Amino acid sequence: MTIKIKTIGIIAKDTSEAVINTVKQLADFINKKKCTLIYDKSTEGLFSDANYVSRETLAKQSDLAIVVGGDGTFLSAVRSLADHNTPVLGINLGRLGFLVDISPNDMLQHLEQIMQGEYVDECRFLLQAQVERDGHIISRADAFNDVVVHIRDVARMIEFETYINGQFVNYQRSDGLVISTPTGSTAYALSSGGPLLHATLDAMVIVPICPHTLTNRPLVINANSKVEVVIGESKQSTAQITFDGQTTFDVKPGDKIIIQKKKNNIHLIHPASYDYYEILRAKLHWSEQL
């Protein structure tokens, strides 16, 4: 899609010196472009005369949201922006930066091009999950990277059954299970032995975490599938469910966790020179010669 940028929202993790300097540069540039600038309450106090608004208001009013920080900040922002179809751009002040792919050193050059309509618009999906107990929904949340069912006590495994579209897949004992989007295939799923999925694939991957039986392998399925994980009745099944590594709920034996593709997608805005494989090479140190 082509976006007409009149209002820009700024989201940041904190008010560290690096964040303040980056946001000030962005603000000076945006003001010169005669665009309206609003700030998420997470940056409150950054400027004395700034317009600070709630995240929901920012999502509704912004033609473009700019996230300043690392992948964790970006994940949190995406989950709150997706329902409002707000395009989002990431400025990388974190460490790894699979999601926030613009350096502060050349962000103004890229932003200039983006405001002229020169950019890559990438549509990606999120997951939504809910936990059912005795027929009642006790918790629900969204995830951009992954939904992880995992052990709560380090020395124990959990037992669970997995179903896809109502069909029984398997029963397993393991440290847990990662249900990941293509975006999240470079995160926990990768460290658990899962495959890399191109970010635009309409698929999700299910990756066991340290399974007791080594024949339990990662499984790639259609993104429109419904995944159900039923926690076993064993007393050893002390588990939690975590969304993007940031939101956690306890689950009990007999609980059913239902994971599906979220209806609303998110639009990531990249520079015109964006190259997914270049990011993989840089972040995973491919093609390096000793």
Domain ranges of the chain: 7-125+265-284, 127-261
Rounded Cα gap, residues 272 and 159, in angstroms: 47
HEC string for the chain: CCCCCCEEEEEECCCCHHHHHHHHHHHHHHHHCCCEEEEEHHHCCCCCCCCEECHHHHHHHCCEEEEEECHHHHHHHHHHHHHHCCCEEEEECCCCCCCCCECHHHHHHHHHHHHCCCEEEEEECCEEEEEEECCEEEEEEEECCEEEEEECCCCCCEEEEEEECCEEEEEEEECEEEEECCHHHHCHHHHCCCCCCCCCCCEEEEEEECCCCCCCCCEEEECCCCEEEEECCCCCCCEEEEECCCEEEEECCCCEEEEEECCCCEEEEEECCCCHHHHHHHHHCCCCCC
pLDDT of res. 101: 85
Is-same-fold flag (7-125+265-284; 127-261)? no
Rounded Cα gap, residues 42 and 68, in angstroms: 11
| 144 and 79 Cβ atoms separated by less than 8 Å | yes
pLDDT of res. 60: 96
pLDDT of res. 38: 96
Tell which CATH classification among 3.40.605.10, 3.40.50.10330, 3.40.30.10, 1.20.1260.10 matches the domain 7-125+265-284: 3.40.50.10330
pLDDT of res. 122: 95
CA angle 57, 60, 66 (to 5 degrees): 85
Of these residues, 40, 71, 142, 244, which one is catalytic?
71
What is the fold of 127-261?
A: Tumour Suppressor Smad4 (2.60.200)
pLDDT of res. 83: 95
Q: Give residue for tokens 């179809």.
A: 85
pLDDT of res. 46: 79
Sign, CA torsion 255/260/266/269: positive
Rounded Cα gap, residues 60 and 96, in angstroms: 29
Helix 17-32 with 107-115: angle, nearest 10 deg = 30
Please identify every stretch of the chain with a pLDDT value under 50, giving residue numbers as ranges: none
Concerning whether 71 is annotated as a catalytic residue, the answer is: yes
Taking the CA of residue 65 as centre, how many other CA atoms within 13 Å lie in the half-sphere pointing to its CB? 33
pLDDT of res. 113: 95
